[in-house]
Amino acid sequence: MSLASALAQGLHTMQCALDEDQQSALLRYLTLLEKWNKVYNLTAVRDPAQMVPQHLLDALSIRPYLAGRRILDVGTGAGLPGIPLAIAEPECEFVLLDSALKRTRFVTQTVAELGLKNVEVVQARIEDYAPKALFDTITSRAFTATGDFVAATGHLLADKGCLLAMKGKLPEEEINHLPRQWSCEAHKLAVPGVVGERHVLVLKQNL
């Protein structure tokens, strides 16, 4: 099966509607990632056929949980989940943040080549980042433990905003040890082609 067919089939299964231009942009992103990966070691997944489910579909699986229009992706790495979500949601503003120069260099180049006007790339540690405005949604994919994620990013969240922590197995101990001012809803994600459990934690401040 071609990458285009695998992507289209996966999106259909997930009921994630994207037009041909958006699907083409996602596949061009994979081409760039495969090319840069050979030099910069951006991701452990080397096979483009595996990148479709493990990177593209996995990133897009949290799309239904995005809140508002201003979104921060912390520890974006190779641009995940930020770049696929920015392609899927052109009306939203995305900031992709990472502390490593090699990763932000790749993400910056990718954003330019794909013509993503709704993405800003920032090289900084989250502790040093001072945005111009707060965020409606803050995402992380294997960034850190849930409690540390809350502690590091909670002050950047707008009222009624949410944190989205992407996880494998449900981290019950992490959830149980969250500060009292935070509530957590856990949702199991069904990602076609991905073996093993996937979850997203939707974290909100108790106002």
Rg (CA), the chain: 16
Of 80, 83, 88, residue with least CA distance to 64 = 88
Confidence of residue 29 (pLDDT cuts 50, 70, 90): very high
Instruction: Please check whether the domain covering 3-205 is classified as CATH 3.40.50.150.
Output: yes
Percent pLDDT > 70 in the chain is: 100
User: pTM for this one?
Assistant: 0.96
| H or E segment and range at residue 184 | strand 182-188
Whether the link from the prior residue into 81 is cis, omega within 30° of 0, is yes
Q: Is the pLDDT of residue 195 over 80?
A: yes
Digit-coded pLDDT (tens) for 156-165: 999 999 999 9
> What's the pLDDT at 136?
98
Domain ranges of the chain: 3-205
Q: Which residue has the higher pLDDT, 206 or 71?
A: 71
Residue appearing with tokens 């905003």:
161
Distance CA 105, CA 201 (A): 29
